[in-house]
Amino acid sequence: MTSLLQFARHRLDDSVRDLLDKEISERVSETRLDSDLDDAILAGIGAYALSRHLPGDVLQSVQVFTAAARHALVLSNLPAQDFPATPVSGFGDEPELAVTNAIHLGLIRLIGATPFAVAYENDGHLIRNVVPNPKACGTTSSWGADSEFFWHSDNPHQPFGRPGSDPRLYTPPYLTFYAVRNEEQVPTEIAALDDVLVRLDPETRQILQTPEFEFGAPDSNDGGATGPLREAAILEPDGTGRHRVRYDRGHTTGVTDRSRAALERWAETLTAIPAAELVLDTGDFMIFDNHRVLHRRKAFTPRPDATARWLRRCYAA
């Protein structure tokens, strides 16, 4: 069976990258821009330069991403500024990363999405530094390294929102990343929900759509800030003929015998689904649909702190 993952990948020419770098660097150097306070201004600077300099086919691919219902998009060879040491404590100087933030938030704007943060995670900051934080040792958090992340969606303990709602109350529709460094060459793997669905028998699919599951808060949530989601389904129809998913192995339980059995078949199916293994490198941007894609990262040994793996993540709706 071939993969149903619909995934667009583009690489910019060096000349386009350098033009973007020059223009965005000039604009952000006139001022001091913080990703939490000035996100709309950073997005405006980035989107202006990107819309002027991205080749037509790349710009179009970015702009139709949500309407085309693609699972994921990767754009490589974006400008890479002089980066500071990896902030392994989790937080660093945001204004110092203005060029990176303008590109990251500019791309989210061109996609037609809105970046957002939630109060119960990452101290409420917009951009999450995905780094090996020594304090997260042994946890399956985006700050972890030594524990494997099994296939999951982010924040499955929140309900699915309706379009036009405040996204902070719901499970994030999109995850976006800008890669600062990944010398360890750790892949981020993504798989389409459709590829799981076609491998499940109809009865299991049906049970996974019943509200016989419970979803606990993931390790990345600030202790006790959010409660579990009870009487919810793993799969829900999204109203457009597709399904959306919530799942995180460590925090998803069945509350009936048949749902526990279905959950086992689901997890078993996940061990053999086709996946794209993406080694994000400096200057790579990725977006994927958190409702229709499962993702995972294997355990890895980080480099010394200053050069340890560092991705920047932002939720978008």
Q: Cite the annotated binding site for Fe cation by residue number.
A: 295
Residues within the annotated binding site? 295
Q: Does position 289 bind Fe ion by CB under 5 A?
A: no
Q: Does position 248 bind Fe ion by CB under 5 A?
A: no
Q: Which residue is nearest to Fe ion (CB)?
A: 154
Which residue lies nearer to Fe ion by CB, 266 or 315?
Answer: 315
**Binding region for Fe ion (CB under 5 A) out of 18-26, 148-156, 188-196, 230-238:** 148-156
Which residue lies nearer to Fe ion by CB, 154 or 212?
Answer: 154
Q: Does position 154 bind Fe ion by CB under 5 A?
A: yes
- Edge-first strand order for the sheet with 229-232 is 229-232, 213-215, 252-254
**Binding region for Fe ion (CB under 5 A) out of 12-20, 25-33, 151-159, 246-254:** 151-159
Terminal C-alpha separation, the chain: 32
CA pair distance 164, 162, nearest whole angstrom:
6
**Binding region for Fe ion (CB under 5 A) out of 1-9, 87-95, 117-125, 152-160:** 152-160
From the CB of 254, what's the least distance to Fe ion, in Å?
22
Which residue lies nearer to Fe ion by CB, 46 or 218?
Answer: 218
From the CB of 148, what's the least distance to Fe ion, in Å?
12
**Distant-in-sequence, close-in-space partners of 49: CB < 8 Å, separation ≥ 6:** 20, 23, 24, 27, 102, 106
CA pair distance 168, 314, nearest whole angstrom:
13
- Contact criterion met (CB below 8 Å) for 180 and 193: no
Q: Indicate the residue type of 232.
A: A
- Contact criterion met (CB below 8 Å) for 34 and 95: yes
Which residue lies nearer to Fe ion by CB, 106 or 172?
Answer: 172
From the CB of 154, what's the least distance to Fe ion, in Å?
4
Tokens found for residue 141: 């958090």
Provide Rg for the chain, Cα atoms.
19
Tokens found for residue 31: 């001022």
CA pair distance 122, 128, nearest whole angstrom:
6
Burial class, 168, CB count within 10 angstroms (exposed 0-12 / middle 13-18 / buried 19+): middle
Which residue lies nearer to Fe ion by CB, 81 or 140?
Answer: 140
Which residue lies nearer to Fe ion by CB, 182 or 204?
Answer: 182
From the CB of 23, what's the least distance to Fe ion, in Å?
33
Within 6-164, residue ranges assigned H as helices are 14-29, 39-53, 56-63, 98-111
From the CB of 261, what's the least distance to Fe ion, in Å?
26
Size of the site for Fe ion (CB under 5 A): 1
Task: Give the interface with Fe ion as residue ranges (CB under 5 A).
Answer: 154
